[in-house]
Amino acid sequence: MPHVNVKMYPGTSEEQKAKIAKEITNVIMKHTGKPDAAVSIAIEEVAEEAWMKEVYDKEIKPNMEKLYKKPGY
């Protein structure tokens, strides 16, 4: 606990993804008091042309009330 799944357009390097995962892990540890071993991070690339159908329509739009940060599009 917790697990975070980040979805983003392709094009981010493996090094950048590792840095993103580390930063997210650090923030979670700081604010929850959970150890590094308790945190898992997944990063999934989704093509731009598939974003609205695969991510927005399925995950974002039906869950707006659960989002602490809503998209501006």
Structure-derived torsion over alpha carbons of residues 68, 61, 3, 13, reported in degrees to the nearest 10? -100
2 annotated active-site: yes
Which residue numbers are catalytic? 2
